[in-house]
Amino acid sequence: MTRFRLDLGYDGAAFHGWAAQTGLRTVQGELETWIGRVLRLDEPPVLTCAGRTDAGVHARGQVAHLDLDLPEPEDLARTLQRRLRRALPEDVAVFSVEVAPPGFDARFAAIWRRYRYHLSDGVLDPLQRHTTAAMRGEIEVARLHHAGQALLGLHDFAAFCRAREGATTIRRLQELRAERLPDRRIRVEVRADAFCHSMVRSLVGALVEVGTGRRDDSWLVGLLDAEARSSEEPVAAAHGLVLEEVGYPSVDQLELRVAEARARRELP
């Protein structure tokens, strides 16, 4: 068996998210189908990705792996990349296919995920509308950025996560930066060891409440004490969000990282 690493991107608009679902068009489903076809496999392979994105969420730095029991893996990687380039529909692209280093696991070896969210509080540029969410109310970006700094570090982000049975909601938020771009849009960039379900969109939704002055900093910080998400917290629209990049440790640290990540995250 040889493990391959795929770096890929997609426009999430016409996908029901990453994860394969019978009868629905998903990124995983589309890729597995096409990989099976272009390599003439008896059945489609199984792909594992770094960040399972929701319906409508985009990616340009998604990473996935798959295992294949075929000869000449280096040649196979080149062949697969070339054939996928021709075969894939235009809303998903595989930028590179490589033989993965020993111990690599797209999901469990990742040490961080970086997402960007773009929003507009003015007239939305039609050319940006597929990847930028229009928000009501003028946003004070410095205020939004400042409020966000209180969320950095290791916390239980239950208030920002859609509940999933038996899954922890403890995460380490490593970076949160909001800025107004030269084109007047607002960009919120976040990096964490991992994100739970809908966490980035919940973070952005809550931060916008503070940025518009509808809520204050203490409301935001108070959310860290909540045990579950309440219906009061807005979730920002999916189409403003892009998975930009996934970080991995150096090759000699891969196996250690995988073991560590498989263990359930707990507060110290």
Phi, psi of 4 (to 5 degrees): -115, 145
**262: how many CB neighbours lie within 10 A of its CB?**
10
Q: How many CB atoms lie within 10 A of CB 235?
A: 18
Verify binding: residue 42, a copy of itself, rule CB under 8 A. Answer: no
- 86 touches 238 (CB < 8 A): no
Tell me whether residue 38 or residue 124 sits nearer to a copy of itself (CB atom). 124
50 vs 173 by CB, closer to a copy of itself: 50
**Residues 76-95 within binding reach of a copy of itself (CB under 8 A):** 85, 90-95
Per the annotation, the verdict on 54 as an active-site residue is yes
Residues 6+ apart with CB under 8 A from 1: 67, 68, 69
Q: Of 7, 11, 42, 54, which residue is the catalytic one? A: 54
Which segment (62-70, 99-107, 116-124, 173-181) binds a copy of itself by CB under 8 A? 116-124
238-256: b or e for each residue (b if 16 or more CB lie within 10 Å)? bbbbbbbbbbbeeeeebee
Please report whether residue 72 would count as binding a copy of itself according to CB under 8 A. no
Q: Tell whether residue 126 is a contact of a copy of itself (CB under 8 A).
A: yes
- Which of 66, 242, 246, 254 binds a copy of itself (CB under 8 A)? It is 242
| Among positions 3, 52, 58, 116, the unique one binding a copy of itself when judged by CB under 8 A | 58
Task: Please give the Cα distance from 211 to 207 (Å, whole number).
Answer: 6
Does 138 bind a copy of itself (CB under 8 A)? Our answer is no
Q: Which residues are bridge partners to 172 per DSSP?
A: 154
Confirm if 108 and 262 have CB atoms less than 8 A apart.
yes
Q: Which of 34/157 has CB closer to a copy of itself? A: 34
Q: In terms of DSSP H, where are the helices of 157-266? A: 199-211, 217-222, 254-262
Task: Return the number of the residue (15 or 195) whose C-beta is nearest a copy of itself.
Answer: 15
Q: Which residues bind a copy of itself (CB under 8 A)?
A: 9-11, 58, 60, 85, 90-95, 122-127, 129-131, 242
User: Which residues are designated catalytic?
Assistant: 54
